[in-house]
Structure 1
Amino acid sequence: MKKSTTLLKPVNSFKTAKLSLIVGAALLSSTLALTSTPALAAWPFQVEGQEMPSLAPMLEKATPAVVSISVVGTHKTQQQNIPEAFKFFFGDRNRGQAQERQFRGLGSGVIIDSDKGYIVTNNHVIANADEIMITLKDGRQLEAKKLGSDAKSDIALLQVEAENLSEIKLADSDALRVGDFTVAIGSPFGLGQTVTSGIVSALGRSNLNIEQYEDFIQTDAAINSGNSGGALVNLRGELIGINTAIIGPSGGNVGIGFAIPSNMMDNLVKQIVEFGEVHRGVLGVSGRSVNSEIAKAMELETSQGSFIEQVMPGSAADEAGIKAGDVIVAMNGKAIKSFFELRAKIGTIGANQKVKLTIIRDGDSEEFTVTLKQDQSADIAAASIHPMLDGAKFNNDSKKQVVVIEQVAEGSPAQMIGLQKGDLITGVNKTRIKDLAQLRDYLKDQAGEVFALNIVRDKNSLYLMIR
């Protein structure tokens, strides 16, 4: 039977991926439902003189920190090109023009800092949003601003200004064990705030093709369309994950849900707070997950870990002394089960951070301390650099010290101003530009101004005027 995965998306914009992924969003209401597991005996209360197990005391503290999010935004859609047979009459004036269509979406979020008004949610909940409104459990509605996001791990950070907010304390998600009890808080199918319970079914779930960086907590706590960005907590009411995806037919729950671990989320949020974006750390290796065949061929005693096939010259791994053929089995004392898990942890921990890797080499266990370098690929959204660059995909060429245009979307603003795939941005006005960070910082002060991009195309230099 074909397996379908349901990625939790804003309710009005469902899309299908490799496993039929749907991401759900929270809807507004005030109903509180509780599906409890009989084994969850905690916080007893009195009924006719007898103590009864209940999660209510914990939930009374945790649920006010889970909010509903409503967004209004616009999607850019490509206008259909005129068939060749009719261009004689109409010309080609409409070719490549983009149209905007308004959309509305709903989701959930979690208050992680009540003093600063920080709210964490999924990136897909607020993507392309022009207006973001937060509804608290007490009914207050607040306008939120986006501080930053990371599409590759599906995390976004919002901020509101309000008093008397409740927050959820973060737990150490690395300390989770399979079998630990979990409680999911969200608003599925428009029913309002709903609470369900279950256990940690698995840890380190990856290679699901949901996000680019995956290290999910799997739980059987009921998660449905409407829970996107909601909280997964432990029995102390501490946040252990952000609910993100499910596997199930037609968006329904079958007991397989996924949450982004709180430690991963926390690493990303700290970078967004400091830099306004994620400064992704890179190790500089390629490899694959250890399996029985690799273990046999390389005479390994372990059947788990990350087998290193190549170490990039000058990379963080190279400078630390890691070699091809090494097997990374732990990071900072925590076991690494696969290459995907290693990639997710490294890719979200942040640039310039030090990590301790445990490596099996020639049958012996060794430890290496590695200082991660910053990923120079295009994590910075083009639209966040300048609206007229929206639709272009950038990368840094560290050897030539230029910004490379890797891709330009059809009908996008970037195409309209004349950018093409393969263009090299070498400067703005008369200022030399060497990388994306310099480009972004320079254009920050050019709001509303006319400026010229210095482009090298096919060895020819030209200027593109942008206003």
Structure 2
Amino acid sequence: MKKPLLVLSALALSISSVIAPIPATAALPLSVDHQQLPSLAPMVEQVTPAVVSIAVEGKHVSRQQIPDSFRFFFGPDFPAEQVREQPFRGLGSGVIVDAKKGFIVTNHHVINGADKILVQLYDGRELTAELIGSDKMSDIALLKVETAKNLTEIKLADSDKLRVGDFAVAIGNPFGLGQTVTSGIISALGRSGLNIENFENFIQTDAAINSGNSGGALVNLNGELIGINTAILGPNGGNVGIGFAIPANMVKNLSEQILEFGEVKRGVLGVQGGELTAELAEAFGYETNQGAFINQVMPGSAAEKAGLKAGDIIVSVNGKQIRTFSELRAKIATLGAGKKISLGVIRDGKEKDFTVTLQEATQNKVKADNLHPGLAGAEFANTTSSDSVNGVKVINVDEKSLVARYGLQKDDIIIGLNRKPIKNLGELRKALDKNPNVLALEIKRADNILYLVIR
């Protein structure tokens, strides 16, 4: 008999899922001997209006290059690539974090590729949502509903204060059933190495979460958001009491960056290292094996400028304990470029404090075909302080692509689109949301300004 295979699954739900009937259960008495029984109902009633269901529609686009020899046979007018579109629908969850401005947080994988995002509120209202920005590497997306009134938001807790054993309540839209509440505890903190996302610092919980819970809320008994439910570990994607959520502090940092820049501006410390083993800890005069071991400090990095050295053990960030190198990596990447942080470091058996100003990641590339099909073949990134102007820099251009034929070149800086100024990738993405048929790119090339019109 084969054992069931444990797999990690994102929680967004295909709309075609089959739902089994749910057996009825007997109701519990409200009181015993005229005494009120303990209940989560008051907290749940306060929080549930802040959790929404999300339905998306879109098309998965696949592109296949046509060999030059094949095109030669049919003539130069034969298309250079074959494009196929496959419609899809999906379901997920979201959390209202700002009622006045209509901001909703969910997972990137819930809305990825969506052309239409529909939000259903707890009271049954349905609203169309706009994507403000998202980050694939941390699986966070920020939405906005423009016309909504009388929304309820959820307060964010300080997730760094969580402890294993704290009670947790998960709220979301599993299997498209509608809003569902489950409870459990915090099973573990700082989970990483699961290969779900690039930056992992998960809260693990045994509160039952299933497909469709993606982007839903994990709250404490005060009704405060402690995490965004993201993935589960279980046979065939089913719940076995091992679920993972992105911590609220991480969600807050990422959302603020998306609002300010249209994307996540990752912070870089400039160290390489690994997990702290018992042998390493003993060799470097440290009593426990919790911390991040540094085996190399990159020249010119923020870490070198602050005085960090190979052999140091980072044990805290801004006064909060660091358990693993993976946790350090996730925290640094989501704090944001330019942030000034305090690091607690063990050196020669003694603890020292260092103040570090994080640098900006320079390799945050975006494939242009994810922004607009007319830009396929190029890679973009935000300009940095070394560039002479704010805009979107062309990192690479495929010589065989359409944009190359129109004249787009590596190191060009896009400063405008269709007479609208462009200062960063977020503004470019927003300008391309309406999928214009003609792209008039204002380009800065060396000391010259020129226009490229792509049809």
TM-score in same-fold range (> 0.5): yes
CA distance 1:311–1:5, change in 2 (3 Å): same
Give yes or no for the alignment of 1:254 onto 2:207.
no
Take 1:151 and 1:449, find their aligned partners in 2: how far apart are those partners?
26
Pair 1:4-2:11 in alignment: no
Matched residue, 1:345: 331
In structure 1, what is the equivalent of residue 272 of structure 2? 286
User: Which residue of structure 2 lines up, in the alignment, with residue 201 of structure 1?
Assistant: 187
- The corresponding residue for 1:19 is none
- Corresponding residue for residue 356 of structure 1: 342
Please name the residue that 2:63 is paired with. 78
Deviates most, 279-288 or 201-210: 279-288
How many equivalent residue pairs? 430
For 1:325 and 1:50, how far apart are their aligned partners in 2? 60
Worse overlay, 276-285 or 218-227: 276-285
Secondary structure of the structure 2 residue equivalent to 1:340: helix
TM-score by length of 1: 0.81
Name the CA distance, whole Å, in 2 between partners of 1:192 and 1:440.
33
1:105: which partner in 2? 90
TM-score between the two structures when normalised by the length of structure 2: 0.83
**3-state SS of the aligned residue for 1:360?**
strand
Task: Say if 1:221 and 1:428 are closer, same or farther in 2 by CA, change over 3 A.
Answer: closer
Give the RMSD, CA atoms, in angstroms: 3.8
1:466 positional shift: 2.8
1:148–1:157 contact (8 Å) kept in structure 2: yes
Instruction: Indicate yes or no: 2:225 matched with 1:239.
Output: yes
How far did 1:90 drift? 4.9
**Partner-residue secondary structure (3-state), 1:424:** coil
Give the equivalent residue in structure 2 for 1:131: 116
* Deviates most, 394-403 or 198-207: 394-403
Tell me if 1:405 matches 2:395: yes
Q: Which residue of 2 aligns with 1:466?
A: 454
Q: Which residue of structure 2 aligns with residue 166 of structure 1?
A: 152
Give, in angstroms, the shift of residue 204 of structure 1.
0.2
2:163 aligned with 1:180: no
Amino acid at match of 2:138: S
Give, in whole Å, the separation in 2 of the partners of 1:281 and 1:124.
Answer: 23
Separation of aligned partners in 2, 1:429 and 1:243: 38
Give me the whole-angstrom Cα distance separating, in 2, the residues matched to 1:80 and 1:248: 38
- Counterpart CA distance in 2 for 1:445 and 1:135 is 26
Equivalent AA in structure 1 for residue 257 of structure 2: Q
CA deviations over 1:107-162 (Å, ceiling 9, x no partner): 11001111111110001111111111110111101111111111111111111121
Unaligned stretches of 5+ in structure 1? 14-24, 39-43, 431-435, 457-461
User: SS in structure 2 opposite 1:177?
Assistant: coil
- 133 and 397 in structure 1: CA distance in 2 versus 1, 3 angstrom threshold: closer
Deviations 1:358-390 (A, max 9, x none): 011111110001111222222556358765335
Distance across 1 between alignment mates of 2:181 and 2:38: 16
SS in 2 for 1:450: strand
- 1:465: how far off? 5.4
Structure 1 counterpart SS, 2:341: strand
1:157 aligns with 2:142: yes
Structure 2: unaligned runs, 5 residues or longer: 417-421
Q: Is the partner of 2:6 in helix, strand or coil?
A: coil
Flag the 1:62–1:35 CA change in 2: closer, same or farther, 3 A: farther
Within 1, Cα distance between the matches of 2:255 and 2:266? 12
In 2, Cα distance between equivalents of 1:271 and 1:215: 18
Distance (whole Å) between structure 1 residues aligned to residue 303 and residue 67 of structure 2: 52
